[in-house]
Structure 1
Amino acid sequence: MSRGKNDSAAPLIPGPGPAFAEFARGFSFTLDPYQRDGCAVVEDGAGVLIAAPTGAGKTVVGEFAVFLALRQGRRCFYTTPIKALSNQKFHDLVERFGPSHVGLLTGDTSINPDADVVVMTTEVLRNMIYARSAALRNLGFVVMDEVHYLADRFRGAVWEEVIIGLAPDVQLVSLSATVSNAEEFGDWLAEVRGDVRVVLSERRPVPLFQHVMAGRRLYDLFSEEAPTASDVPVAGEVNPELVQLAKQDSRFVRDDSRHRRGRRTRDRIERNAAQRGDRGPNLVPRRDGAVEKLEAEGLLPAIYFIFSRAGCDQAVGQLLHSGLRLTSAAERARLDAIADTVATNLSAEDLAALDFATFREGLRRGIAAHHAGMLPAFKEAVEQGFVEGLVKVVFATETLALGINMPARSVVLEKLVKYNGEAHVDITPGEYTQLTGRAGRRGIDVEGHAVVLWQRDIDPRHVAGLASRRTYPLRSSFTPTYNMTVNMIGRVGRERARGLLEQSFAQYQTDRSVVGVARAIARNNDKIAALWADASCEQGDFEEYARLRADVSQVQADAARSRRTDRRAESLSALLELAPGDIIGIPAGRHEGWAVVVDPGVRRDRANPSPTVMTQERQLKKLSVHDFPSPPVVAARMRIPKHFDPRQAKDRRNLGAAFLAKLAGMDTRPSRYVAAAMDAEAQERITQLRSALQAHPCHTCPDREEHARAAEKALRLERDTADLRRQVERRSTTIAVRFDKICSVLTGLGYLTDDAEQVTPAGSMLARIYSELDLVAAESMRAGLFDELDPAELAAVASSLTYESRGADAKRPSRMPNRSTEIAQSSLRHIWRDLSLMERDHKLDASREPDIGFAEATYAWASGRDLADVLADNDLTAGDFVRSMRMVIDLLGQLADAAGAGVVRTRARDAIDLLRRGVVSAAYDEDD
């Protein structure tokens, strides 16, 4: 299917021109109709959106744009979302068009940057646009590969910034995976770029068969073994053998709700069933058994998806332990050579720390893992071996489904449930399509195969639903940031910048939803009127009374919220000041009441003080900052005996007696040790409202609480409706409203002039910092926070602006490496807290909290520590370590650029030199 914009009478897709005929002669196969249509649109001078299944050959249209640019004497930029894909595309284009015509820019790497064709990451092009780079002159074409990445919540905004910011005369060639709202996305592109036409293909170049493996048997998912030749619904019924098998298996498990029962409960149920002798056959395939079955059926090479890094590594270990070998002698020799290339840039100590021997043994057997926790060099070796057909099975996490070109004959899904960072959830039809889309290698396989492994709670009809629904909508993640704002204002001024933001895909999608929102408002208004009728009271105006009650709650909530942000920091600060003999009030929790400090507990860890106290019950307890939702107040002091030993009962009795005697002479009312919960103004307002409540005639109504329940529902629905109404009222300014709030913050801090129309020198500095915590970094630099740090210390503190702990890492206690960094980090957190309060005042979401979880590792590496020690001490995988270190290096480079001549620039560059060694340096060498 191909179409253009709103003119059905016009020939939307022209016939192929002479340039295409010349281009097509370079291929040994006939191009598909959608590829010919896409190239014809480009040759006709229009932009194009190509949306086609994974592996369908979309990049042919991108390569035609490159061909046309060279033919016309114009430049072409080929952008990709990740550096690895940029490297891969660079080598592809060099092979096709020659090294003199093709360059590469990824931020870390610069090869032939003045070439007619330059491959780059999308961020590089965004930065060029903001800097008004001379490289944009004579730019005729931009290819945006994997443009559906604009849905990525962390980096997606970059794609929209580029699409909006490119000069109008640049032809845009957008390549996307199949999405269910491609027409909507195409309409938006035409709105902001002019003549853009959409070319859709739902046909897979290699038909895809769907299977379920139970035990050692491979079942067809559909009764007629119908392949999925497209992303449209599959014809055919679910295989009745699978349906019957699921019924039989469910009788043995006797578990009617896997979502309500945890793994331990299910395991217990199955153990009990086994003891009764009615467990039934175990149909869940072993990993080694599944791979052996695939080999026997001729379905290798395979990508075997396991939604866990540890699970991928365990699977490789299991296959090695089983003795499975999938390669010939010649293949093993070639894989040994690939592995040896990886080892070239690494020391023997590093290789040992990375368990290279196990990796090499797996690789030479044709077995490997592929996930973000691996060293980039290891992953590239796996990719190379797989592309050459030498690696037969790769155990991978879902990240492999994006970007890198690694098609397989079959794809295996071990489970249909994954952890999304908060809970275990079912994968969506769109995710299923993305994962299984790699099955079937064009020009090699006549068919591809998707294999779902049997699980105790599997429902074949659910699997069929995943396999037969095209539901992968593209949703914009675009939102203005501080850096984006100063860059756009610096480039085009505030008003035009605001107008450009209103052209975003996010705004476009918001506008189209207004009709549904208006209908919801009308329905809500009817419900609100009915609820107020239910709340009517014979004694007076109950709506007035209910709003008074709501005002009391709101004032209390606002006051508590205004205190909550700083309360933990205040508590921590107060705990650090405690001394032995201080009598403090514990405001809440199990130990609420009075206590005397025996040991302040700050010698080992000032970031997490843990004072030991004696309570009123004469018990010795160790406390933490969590016991102090309000800062402790020192009400009095007493002497702790010099040789007090908490292990001696006599010492405890004597101290307890002295403590109680001290308390007897004190004012021990709770108000003396509970820190003030709100300011005086809020307290006065609450007193006034409560007086009005008590004086209201409805206050004495015997049915007051019954009326109140209906009123509370009405008020809650009113708040929801007000939110919906604001969406309608601001439908053309949703993005712009956030932009205005950001401008207010930046004006108040001096990054924009008082009228917010121009960027100040401080704003120009902020424009060079692209970190998620860009404003925190800029404010820290302006405060001179980095000035006194040596390079290793600067790197450690900078890491808190780039690192974000995930999963179990978020619970691991962390600290700064030394006193200097601790002081700097404390100042940085004060800056973050002040900015958070400012964001709250402007009704902006607060920036995420700085995270010191990588600081010790960064400092250790910058100080020359061995890789094995750094990984072991910080419980890091090699891949996470290298990726996180590169993020620190990127930020240090930005700080150096932003700082200008001086000590910070010098030390930031020195820090980069310290960090770029060993495996980190090797990762940059691989990019080259």
Structure 2
Amino acid sequence: MNTADAESTAKATPSENLRDFAGHYDFSFDSFQVQACGSIDAGHGVLVAAPTGSGKTVIGEYACFLAVREHSRCFYTTPIKALSNQKYHDLVAAHGADNVGLLTGDVTINGDAPIVVMTTEVLRNMLYAVSPDLETLSYVVLDEVHYLSDRFRGAVWEEVILGLAESVQVVALSATVSNAEEFGDWLDTVRGNVDIVVWEKRPVPLYQHVMADHEIYDLFGSDGRSVNPKLTALARQESRTTRDDSRRPRGRNGRGKRRVTYGSGQFGGASSSRVGDRRHQSHGLTPSRAMVVTALQKAGLVPAIYFVFSRQGCDAAVRQLLRSGVRLTDRTERAQLRELAQREGASLSETDRAALGWNDFVEALSRGIAAHHAGLLPVFKAIVEEGFTRGWLKVVFATETLALGINMPARTVVLERLVKYNGETHADITPGEYTQLTGRAGRRGIDTEGHAVVLWQTGMDPRAVAGLASKRTYPLRSSFAPNYNMAVNLVRSAGRDRARSLLEQSFAQFQADRKVVAAARQGVAVAGQIADAWQQAHCSRGDFASYARLRDEVRELEREQARLRKQDQRAAVLDGLSRLEPGDVIHLDAGKGSGWLVVIEPARPGKPEPHPLVMGEDHQIVRIAPEQFKSAPVTAAKVRVPKRFDRHSAAARKALSRALDARIEGLSVEAGRSRAPLDAEISHQISELRARLRAHPCHDCPHREDHARAAERALRLERENNVTQRRAADRRNSIAAQFDRICAVLDALGYLDPSHPDEVTPAGTMLTRIYSELDLVVAQAIREKVFAELNGPQLAAVLSTMVYEARATDTGGHRMPDDTSARAERALRSVWREVGLVERDHRVERQRDLDIGFADAAAQWASGASLADILGEFGLTAGDFVRWTRQVVDLASQISAAPGLAELGSPGLARTCRAVIGLLRRDIVDFETAEPE
């Protein structure tokens, strides 16, 4: 392995191939580009870590050039379909349409070409399927390889790196990461002959600013290191005029209603403010969005990407600028943007345009303003991206997804806040995220400098912002973990032992191994402390260590018994409540609303906990919660509840209450209680241990409790050290241990054959083609014929529950579209629970829950509903609707292609899945998945 800083490496004489390749570019290559291309010429793999916009893709394009010249093949992989489409067009322009193909799962163009652009998942699937297209493969470009840190999809990159043939040269292109050498060391270990090229120089220098009120200040002073004194003066001035309790989480007296809603404020995030609160848009020194855009235009700092970190915030910003009358384009640019919109949007019908707010979009576009986020329809995104790259659009309000690969550089990047929602909470952005976002500023060959502007927020500390801007820490951390689909594919292709060995070569394991040495050093120091504690616990009457361990074992068994009882009771309660149906009569023993209850509405599917709607003996209608039950509810009787029971009708409530009163006469309370047995085995063990304690010679020692305190300290230190050493041991084979547990689940459910560890059963063969996040639930549902009797719209609804994930703002209240799909969803949920129990038994993290939030929309679209009806009824954005529909299509495609469906008892399922695909891929959905021009 060769590790070098390209700037300090003398330029070698470029090869004839490289000279020919460089002649197609109108700029001279930087030394890192020459060095990396030289590594490819030498037959080596290469990892290139360089800033955004520095020209890393030139190295990937060189691999494509060589594949065409050598009559071999190069696969150019990207993390997202939009980037694949963009790269496809770039390579077609360079090599011609005959030499370039595109594979993105739903689009196939010229798949036999010498250069094929694809998403990384497509290549992973080809490896597992042992595709014949791999036979002539010489080069694989892994663009944006730092995506392997992504906690949802990162494992795919490691699967590809480990699965490629040794003869394939890997060209890995990464953003600047602080541990490039560590990652390159791993690549060299598993691939061999991988060179590392690190380039830290930005092609366009970046200047940092803070905008407060109407003025844009430099963040740093004249020396380029210390904070601008004008900003520190502003902070002092603001602190004198701002109430102290505005910086406190709970008000002046510490007991108020204020809550910290996000962020620590470590990087100037002003943690006591609220994200998206309009009151802060023009509060104090914080400039309004219109003020910011106007100031940028006057300063010559457009085009700009304005990061808002909220879809609604992006759309709201566009509306605000429209209302403010801001216009950033001249007459020619307005005409060009309108022509672009009409050309790209020609396939949209008038009803679709009305539903999508087309006129407002085009009006804002013509003024040089647009939004860009995941909820935007792809055709809108395409218009925004082309308009911006051509320089016609001046300001794009964007979420952070724009920073992840799409080539949309700007002169300036604006960060409205230094906090964002990370999927769980609002938190400060990290130095790595700041670097990634601001890396878009400065267009190579156009701008002589780029600019990053942070907007002032109440409570901001300019020194913290300067610290954030000056850090370049972006460590690459593996997110690799084996899953069910990976396990069956690896066992089928390599056998269980070889698969286990392969997983031990992952980057995740490579990083974990480096933490083992520190644990060993800690163990030596703690051993001495443990020996001292046992010496203090010495007892003249006998071996106090054995007595203390008996006492400790009793305590642990008692704790374990309490935990098991609590877990079993809660699991039983959740399961019992989820199975209740309208008309079931149950008994609640204690607490508010105790007594006999009749179920009116069952628990809502797709929710983490069941909360059925019930009527009590007091004739009040409420929702009950699992916390109200100490044991699982048992149906003691049934009462007829009308199918369309109107809970707001006094007559309906009165009729139901009479029926309930009549039914519960003479019912025994015991009839409504479950009888869960105690864990007799643990109780027996505890009794035996207590008898041994009483018989121990140290039991009657007058200093017993003094000895016990020292012994408890020794035992505590032993436990802590054991945990540390066990974690170290787990790190030594952590990935392989996860693989073993996953294989145990697959053995138990019949996907692998325990008696033939290198063989996959027919069910396992079917699972090899299911790549869903809920892959095992999908496969098990196929085996149990959950989907067998469904028509197209019903199947679309049920499949959607396994791909859809509601946003945090979703208020719930969703239903399945009809009784048949509801029964199938209940059966699917039962499968999910059964799989979860097996996972619990084998200590495998449970697969995520089902979500019915998109089911009705999917069914209605499959039944022919219009886009306007769907968006109006379900409150979805057009982009979200298209994305979730395409994911249902993708899952249906996987199932339809899964081998052995007929043998597993579902001969017509593939046909129904193909019907679902045809029903869903129509109008705007079909338009969005059409081949690129």
Q: TM-score by structure 1 length?
A: 0.88
Kept in 1, the 8 Å contact 2:515–2:728? The answer is no
Partner of 1:468: 470
Cα distance change on mapping 1:534 and 1:156 into 2, 3 Å: farther
- What do the CA deviations read for 1:368-392 (whole angstroms, capped 9, x no partner)? 1101111111111110100000110
1:561 partner amino acid: Q
Q: Greater shift after overlay, 500-509 or 419-428?
A: 419-428
Map 1:126-525 → 2, pairs under 5 A: 126-224=124-222, 226=224, 236-255=225-244, 258=247, 260-261=249-250, 282-522=284-524
Aligned residue for 1:884, secondary structure, equals helix
CA distance, structure 1, for counterparts of residue 536 and residue 619 of structure 2: 54
Kept in 1, the 8 Å contact 2:333–2:392? The answer is yes
CA distance, structure 1, for counterparts of residue 601 and residue 200 of structure 2: 64
CA distance, structure 1, for counterparts of residue 122 and residue 649 of structure 2: 62
Report deviation, 1:603: 8.6
Question: How many residues are matched?
Answer: 888
Report deviation, 1:326: 0.4
CA distance, structure 1, for counterparts of residue 771 and residue 445 of structure 2: 42
Kept in 2, the 8 Å contact 1:548–1:689? The answer is no
CA distance, structure 1, for counterparts of residue 767 and residue 59 of structure 2: 38
Partner of 1:19: 17
Kept in 2, the 8 Å contact 1:105–1:120? The answer is yes
Pair 1:84 & 2:82 matched: yes
CA distance, structure 2, for counterparts of residue 619 and residue 696 of structure 1: 59
Cα distance change on mapping 1:270 and 1:729 into 2, 3 Å: closer
Kept in 2, the 8 Å contact 1:103–1:119? The answer is yes
Kept in 1, the 8 Å contact 2:605–2:852? The answer is no
- What do the CA deviations read for 1:814-852 (whole angstroms, capped 9, x no partner)? 221111111111111111111111111111111111222
Partner of 1:727: 727
- What do the CA deviations read for 1:553-597 (whole angstroms, capped 9, x no partner)? 112213432453453122232x32644xx4x43145433x4x233
Partner of 2:779: 778
Aligned residue for 2:75, secondary structure, equals strand
Partner of 2:921: 916
- What do the CA deviations read for 1:445-492 (whole angstroms, capped 9, x no partner)? 000000000001111111111111121000111111111111112222
Cα distance change on mapping 1:399 and 1:605 into 2, 3 Å: closer
Kept in 2, the 8 Å contact 1:4–1:13? The answer is no
Aligned residue for 1:882, secondary structure, equals helix
Partner of 2:267: none
Cα distance change on mapping 1:95 and 1:703 into 2, 3 Å: farther
Report deviation, 1:732: 3.6
- What do the CA deviations read for 1:839-889 (whole angstroms, capped 9, x no partner)? 111111111112222111111111111222222322211111111111110
Aligned residue for 2:453, secondary structure, equals strand
Kept in 2, the 8 Å contact 1:600–1:609? The answer is no
Map 1:754-765 → 2, pairs under 5 A: 754-765=755-766
Pair 1:549 & 2:562 matched: no
Aligned residue for 1:206, secondary structure, equals coil
Partner of 2:52: 54
Partner of 1:681: 680
Partner of 1:872: 872
Report deviation, 1:646: 10
Report deviation, 1:421: 2.3
Q: Greater shift after overlay, 528-537 or 328-337?
A: 528-537
Report deviation, 1:752: 1.9
Which one of the candidate residues 892, 904, 908 is aligned to 1:903? Answer: 908
Partner of 1:736: 736
1:779 partner amino acid: Q
Kept in 1, the 8 Å contact 2:377–2:882? The answer is yes
Q: Percent identity?
A: 51
Report deviation, 1:134: 1.1
Report deviation, 1:131: 1.2
CA distance, structure 1, for counterparts of residue 84 and residue 204 of structure 2: 26
Q: Where do 5+ consecutive residues of structure 1 fail to align?
A: 227-235, 272-279
Cα distance change on mapping 1:611 and 1:705 into 2, 3 Å: farther
Aligned residue for 2:601, secondary structure, equals coil
Kept in 2, the 8 Å contact 1:12–1:197? The answer is no
Kept in 2, the 8 Å contact 1:566–1:833? The answer is no
Partner of 1:576: 581
2:917 partner amino acid: I
- What do the CA deviations read for 1:316-343 (whole angstroms, capped 9, x no partner)? 1100000000011111111111211243
Kept in 2, the 8 Å contact 1:213–1:285? The answer is yes
- What do the CA deviations read for 1:6-25 (whole angstroms, capped 9, x no partner)? 999xx998542221111112
Report deviation, 1:183: 0.2
Cα distance change on mapping 1:503 and 1:390 into 2, 3 Å: same
1:79 partner amino acid: T
CA distance, structure 2, for counterparts of residue 886 and residue 373 of structure 1: 14
Partner of 1:601: 600
2:187 partner amino acid: L
Kept in 2, the 8 Å contact 1:572–1:625? The answer is no
Aligned residue for 2:796, secondary structure, equals helix
1:853 partner amino acid: G
Q: Where do 5+ consecutive residues of structure 2 fail to align?
A: 252-256, 262-270, 274-281, 642-646
1:818 partner amino acid: D
- What do the CA deviations read for 1:763-784 (whole angstroms, capped 9, x no partner)? 1111011001111111111111
Q: Greater shift after overlay, 553-562 or 163-172?
A: 553-562
CA distance, structure 2, for counterparts of residue 365 and residue 622 of structure 1: 53
Report deviation, 1:162: 0.7
Q: Greater shift after overlay, 63-72 or 319-328?
A: 63-72
Aligned residue for 1:411, secondary structure, equals strand
CA distance, structure 2, for counterparts of residue 76 and residue 105 of structure 1: 13
Cα distance change on mapping 1:126 and 1:391 into 2, 3 Å: same
1:334 partner amino acid: Q
Aligned residue for 1:576, secondary structure, equals coil
Map 1:564-713 → 2, pairs under 5 A: 564-573=570-579, 575-576=580-581, 578-579=583-584, 582=585, 584-587=586-589, 589-591=591-593, 593=594, 595-597=595-597, 599-602=598-601, 610-615=612-617, 618=618, 620-626=620-626, 627-628=628-629, 630-633=631-634, 675-676=674-675, 679-681=678-680, 684-685=683-684, 688=687
Report deviation, 1:647: 6.2
For the aligned residue pairs, the C-alpha RMSD in angstroms reads: 3.7
Aligned residue for 2:287, secondary structure, equals coil
1:196 partner amino acid: V
- What do the CA deviations read for 1:235-277 (whole angstroms, capped 9, x no partner)? x11111111111111222234784735895799x999xxxxxx
Pair 1:560 & 2:566 matched: yes
Kept in 1, the 8 Å contact 2:561–2:679? The answer is no
CA distance, structure 2, for counterparts of residue 546 and residue 449 of structure 1: 63
2:759 partner amino acid: Q
- What do the CA deviations read for 1:867-920 (whole angstroms, capped 9, x no partner)? 222223222111111111111100000000015563111110000111111221
Cα distance change on mapping 1:751 and 1:432 into 2, 3 Å: same
